[in-house]
Amino acid sequence: MEDENTLIAENSTLNDHFNGELSELSSRVFLDRVGEVNFSLNSTGLSWKPADSQIDDKSSCIGRKYHIESAAEIKFSDVYAAESADWGSICQSTRCCFMHQDSEMYLFVVHAMQRSKAKASLWHLAEYTFGHSDQLVCKLIVNKIKSYLAKQIGRPKSLLVFVNPKSGKGNSQNVWGVVAPIFSRAKVRTQVTVTERAGHAFDLVSSMTNRELISFDGIVAVGGDGLFNEILNGLLSSRFKTKYPPVPPDFMASPGEESSASVPYPSEINAGIEDGVCSTADEDVEFSFPHERFRFGLIPAGSTDAIVICTTGVRDPITSALHIVLGKRIGLDIAQVVKWKTTMNSDIEPSVHYTASFVGYGFYGDVITESEKYRWMGPKRYDFAGTKVFLRHSSYEVELSYLDVKSKNTDPDSKDDDLIGGVESSQGLKRKCERIICRTNCKVCNTPYTGMMKSKWLKTRGNFLSVGAAVMSCRNERAPDGLVADAHLADGLLHLILVKNCSHALYLWHLTHLAKKGGSPLDFKFVEHYKTPAFAFTSYGKEGVWNLDGEILRAHKLSAQVFRGLISLFANGPEV
C-alpha cells in the first residue's frame, strides 16, 4: 500500500494528465489496432472514440480474433480485470498492421466480456490494449478501474473448484486449463480438487464445517450435471434440515389397508424456507438456505450439460466462467426426493436425495440402467441404450398423486384465482403450453406467491411408458426446447410428464417432437402433463428404477417436493 504522501503526489500528477474531477477522467491514449483515442472513465464504465486526427475506419488487422470498435462504451458490470503491461508495442493504424505504424510505449490492458452478434447468450473474451508515453498515467488509470471493479456487488473472491476428469469425453481438466486464466486475471482465488472416484466431491463437501464452507463464496463444478448433483447433495444432505415432502393420506398403506403413518400436511409446502428451519450451525456459524452470498457455478464438460444450457443459454465454458467472475446470480428451484421403499415388500426406510433438473422412471430409468453396461462408449452410450430400450417398449403400472395448488390472489380486481408465482397452476391440465420462456430477469421467477395456498391431492393410475418430473426445461443438444419449453428456474413448480402405453409409432412421434426445435411433445392424447409443487409415486411392479440426474435410484415408493429458489447459481439466465 502506498503511504499518504505518495497518494497525494499521484493525485497531483493525475490532475496534470486528466481533465475534470477524479470521479470522471479523460485523456488521450492509444488503442492497439485503432490509433489515438479520447479515453474517458467514470463510475459506471469506460469509453473511447477516435481522436480528431483519426479516421473512423473499422478495417481490422489480419489474424485478430475479434473486432475492436473504433468507438465503444463498456460498463464495469462487463469488465472483470485491468492490468498494467509495462513497455510494449502499439499498432497505431486503423488499417492493416502491415502498414508498420507500431510505436513503443507503456501499456495497460482491460479485460471484459463481449456478447456474440449471432447469439446474445454466447459471451466472448474481449481484450483491449491501451498505451501512453507516461507510465504513471497507465498506472493511475488501472488503479482507478480496479477501485471501481472492487465496488461491484456480488463478485467472488474465493472459490472451491471440483474437476471430474471422467465427465463427458474426459476432457474436464483441459476445459479447466482453458478457463483458469480468467479466474487468475479477475483475482479470484481457487482451491482446486480433481476428483478421484465417484462420491469424492460429495464426501468432501458434506464433511466440511460451516466455518470452512463460508470461507468460500461458492463451489464450482467443472464437469457434467452428475458432478453438480453430487456437490449439491453433499451440501444439502448435511445442512438442509426440513420435514419430508408431503404425501397423500393413504400413501403409506398397503393395498386395501388404511394408512396409520404420520405424514406432513400439504400446507407445509415451502414452510421450511419461510419458517427458517432450513439451517444448521456448527462452531456458532450458521449456513442458511437460501444463502445471501454463497452460490454454485457450473462449467460445462459433461455429456449433456442441461443445467448450464438452461441457466446461461449456451453450452460454453468461457461464457460460464465469465458469469462466475462477473458475479451473476440467479435463483434455482431444488426438488427434495424421498425414496420410501426400494421394493414392494421392503421396509420403510426413507432416504433423501436432491435434484435441480430431472428425475424419471420407466423409459428414463431403463436407459440409464442399460447405459451402465456401455460406459466404455462415452456419451454415445445413451443413444445406443435409448434405441435398445425403445425397441423393448416396456410399460409399467404406476399410481401418482400430485398436489393441485391454487393461490388466492391478493388483487381484488383480479379474476384469476389459480396463479402460482404468476404462472398457470396444474388446474386445467390439458391446456396447450403457452411457451412463456424463462430468461434473464424472468418476471415469472421474480414474482412472489400471491396469497395463501389452497391445495388438494389428485390421483392418476395406469400403464405408462415413462414418468418424468422436470424441475427446469432440461434443454440439451438432443432436445433443443427441453422436456417442457415453458418450465422456469425458480417458480416453485415441477412438471410431471406421463406417457401412457401407446404404439411404437406414436411414441416415436412423441420423441421426434422432443428432438426438434419448436416441437410439441406434450400435445398428444397419450401424454399427461401436470404442474405441481409435490407428488407421490407408487409402482405396482416388483421394483422401480429411477434416473436421478444420470444416477440410478431404485424406489418402489417415492415422493418429491420443490423448494423455490433454494440455492443460487453464478448465472444470469438465457438471453432469449
pLDDT (tens digit per residue) in 379-413: 778 888 888 988 999 999 999 999 998 755 434 34
Q: Is 203 an active-site residue?
A: no
- The CATH number of residue 309's host domain is 3.40.50.10330
What average pLDDT does the chain have?
83
Tell me the pTM.
0.86
187: left (phi over 0), alpha (psi -120 to 50) or beta: left
105 and 197 in a single domain? The answer is no
The answer to whether residue 247 is domain-embedded is no
In the predicted structure, residue 452 carries a pLDDT above the cut 90: no
Q: Which of 217, 225, 491, 549 is catalytic?
A: 225
pLDDT band at 470, cuts 50/70/90?
A: very high
Cα angle for residues 311, 317, 319 (degrees, 5° grid): 60
Q: What are the pLDDT digits (tens) for 168-198?
A: 888 999 999 999 999 999 999 999 999 999 9
Are 363 and 213 in contact by the 8 Å Cβ rule? The answer is no
316 and 387 in a single domain? The answer is no
In the predicted structure, residue 60 carries a pLDDT above the cut 50: no
14 and 51 in a single domain? The answer is yes
158 and 230 in a single domain? The answer is yes
The answer to whether residue 571 is domain-embedded is no
In the predicted structure, residue 426 carries a pLDDT above the cut 70: no
Cα angle for residues 326, 330, 335 (degrees, 5° grid): 140
Cell 411433445 appears where?
521
Separation between Cα atoms, residue 281 and residue 51, nearest integer Å: 59
The domain tally of the chain equals 3
Q: Which domain holds residue 515?
A: 333-565
139 and 237 in a single domain? The answer is no
Phi, psi of 475 (to 5 degrees): -65, 145
Q: How far is CA 137 from CA 28, 39, 481, in A?
A: 10, 12, 51
209 and 353 in a single domain? The answer is no
191 and 90 in a single domain? The answer is no
Lowest-confidence region among 154-168, 442-456, 498-512: 442-456
Separation between Cα atoms, residue 571 and residue 569, nearest integer Å: 5
368 and 487 in a single domain? The answer is yes
- The CATH number of residue 472's host domain is 2.60.200.40
In the predicted structure, residue 363 carries a pLDDT above the cut 50: yes
Q: Which pLDDT belongs to residue 283? A: 56
In the predicted structure, residue 557 carries a pLDDT above the cut 80: yes
User: Looking at 89, 124, 150, which one is the last position of a domain?
Assistant: 150
User: Looking at 150, 183, 202, which one is the last position of a domain?
Assistant: 150
503 and 357 in a single domain? The answer is yes
360 and 374 in a single domain? The answer is yes
C-alpha cell, 247: 404425501
